[in-house]
Amino acid sequence: MLFSGKALTVQMLDNGIAELKFDLQGESVNKFNRQTVSEFSQALDAIEAADGVKGVLLTSGKGVFIVGADITEFGDAFSAGAEGVADLMNQNNENINRLEDLPVPTAVAINGYALGGGFEVCLGCDFRVMGEGAKVGLPEVKLGLIPGWGGTVRLPRVVGVDVAAEWIAAGKEQKPAAALEAHAVDAVVPTDKLKDATIKLLERAISGELDYKANREIKKSQIPLNDTEALMAFFTTKAFVGQQAGKNYPSPVAAVESIEQGYKLTRDEALKIEQEKFIFCAQTGTAKSLVGLFLADQAISKVAKGWEKKADKPIERAAVLGAGIMGGGIAYQSAYKGTPIKMKDIDQKGIDLGLNEANKLLSKLVDRKRLTPVKMGEVLNRIEPTLSYDGFDNIDVVVEAVVENPKVKHAVLKEVETKVSEDTVIASNTSTISINHLAEPLSRPENFLGMHFFNPVHKMPLVEVIRGEKTSDSAVARVVAYANKMGKKAIVVRDCPGFLVNRVLFPYFAGFSMLVRDGADFQVVDKVMERWGWPMGPAYLMDVVGIDTGVHAESVMAAGFPDRMGKNFTAASDVMYEAGRYGQKNNKGFYNYEQDKKGRPKKVATEESYELLKPHVAERREFEKDEIIERMMVPMATELARCLEEGIVDSPAEADMALIYGIGFPPFRGGIFAWLDSIGLDEFVKIADKYADLGELYQPTDRMREMAASGITYYGNK
């Protein structure tokens, strides 16, 4: 053994090959934390000092190669400024350069994931062999960053500028076929033959059959592009990437600029350019927010896994009551992820609608080559349509997804409770109705809770798991486990009108209603909020949700929180509802809707909406952009703070992730609480106080004022 540490080892194999194996103790995956980076340096010292080393083989002792840097170390390093960022990056950049400059050939056996820094180490090797199930990629842009250990320098020299820019700017994982076609790897082999195949390739290089020095020279030299080729390549690429990424996500363009400014330079000179760009990105608010979201996502996943471990039995058979679009979406998601599900309705038309929804979603996957027709058949076979309760005594969880009406739900829930076993969990996919209220007619309320999916089910990651006063931990654990199995992000919240997401969304809509009432143009409000980062403005969002659905939910919220959410004026949504303009569902709402070339609804401005609103709103006037943003966002922020203080949600991270996964809150802002921390609660209180005359929704809580006065933040003073 040449070297033995807690993150990697080096031992001599036959034929003079030194195997450098990454195997980080106490972790399920390998990652570049400071310990791994330090031991990598020591391992290279040992290899350089050893006699008889003819080649170096890089392997992993885990099911994946290396998943990248340890993101948990970014916060302290980034907060230390440019020097802190450079300090975090320098040693491993030196390591990879040393690996690349060894006087013997190097080859890596890529198993599982080699992402970010893991792939950059692979690019530092002379030869790369990939297992059939492996994936490679440079996903740093998803954290608001660019590759920082040579990715923008080596990848374009290996695969060409165009492919490298595409891979890095998109941040997508690449499968073996794509990696081989791009020449990012030299071979793809069955995983069980990976190590042997890589050794054989390395032996060919040792014998002189393969010219490893030629490969190395390409990565250390300038990229052979003339000025005209470079101008065309980079001008077009930057324009496309900038348009796709948008102004709030600067890192994809910075990555292309790193390639552009380094293509005429040698490796070491180009690496300096990359570091400058990395440091720039690391200091942006976008990177801070996205890194924070990554850590928050890990935190909520850990909580969900903790609940799953408490489940006293697995969910092996499920059922959904009420087919239709929502029921069909739930059935599809359950079946697609492997859990057989009964789909019950009282009408064959509902069954047909649900089956058609599942079939449509699966057909799209087949068309995109993400699913074979055989696999599609297997998924459909896991969905059992039924008009009766036959077999419900053998079901582990029932999801009720009938019409959003308390009386109907009461009747259905009371009935299904008599058809299932005593320990079956029953969950209501309600968006607003109190779980405590729905539990009233049930004889086993401890087995009842909410399981609120967001529409469309297959796209929206969030599931709110709502516990009522009598819901047992066992029921919560089983439903969270089921949501995890369905590939969803489960966040446990407590019962109240609207639960978490809708309770917070409707104050946002209230802010919109008051703006329109006071003379704002709803199209202008939409554009301002979209530029602020929302995927769609409030009027457009109402049309997509369904104005009839929104008006109903708003009435529930007003009844639950009359002081804040009751209103004494006719809201714009009420006007549209009374006029029969329900949004996309009947092709007319705030906007009219036509089909585009792909058959998707396309919004079209119409004067009819303005004419309908005229009798109910003030004369139209211009509002400053900042006033629109403030009047929209203050009610949402104050209500979310109340939810945290009341224990509706357990942590700022869970609250922020719920809004990002549930309604598309701008990720680059990090979530509501992260946004409040970024602007400062003292500043937020000043903003809110400007609008005190608009009502209680604009009143910061006492706790917010205390935090503002004391300099306390939601995520800690970092």
Per DSSP, the three-state class of 38 is helix
452 noted as active-site residue: yes
Of the listed 183, 410, 452, 458, which one is catalytic?
A: 452
Q: List, in order, residues 6 or more apart from 45 with CB less than 8 Å away.
A: 3
Q: Is the dihedral of CA 608, 610, 614, 616 positive or negative?
A: positive
Return the residue matching tokens 């079946």: 335
Reference 431, options 358, 359, 322, 505; nearest CA is 505
What long-range pairs does 334-340 form, CB within 8 A, spacing at least 24? 334/382, 334/486, 335/379, 335/380, 335/382, 335/383, 336/361, 336/362, 336/379, 336/458, 337/485, 337/486, 337/487, 338/382, 338/485, 339/315, 339/382, 339/482, 339/485, 339/486, 340/316, 340/382, 340/383, 340/384
**Which DSSP state fits 61?**
S
Q: CA-CA distance, 520 to 437, in Å (whole number)?
A: 38
Strands 135-137 and 318-321: unpaired
Per DSSP, the three-state class of 529 is helix
> Which one-letter amino acid corresponds to residue 596?
D
Size (the chain), residues: 718
User: 158 near 184, Cβ under 8 Å?
Assistant: yes
User: 212 near 105, Cβ under 8 Å?
Assistant: yes
Residue 48 burial (CB count, 10 A): 12
Residue 347 token pair: 């009408």
Q: Which residues are catalytic?
A: 452
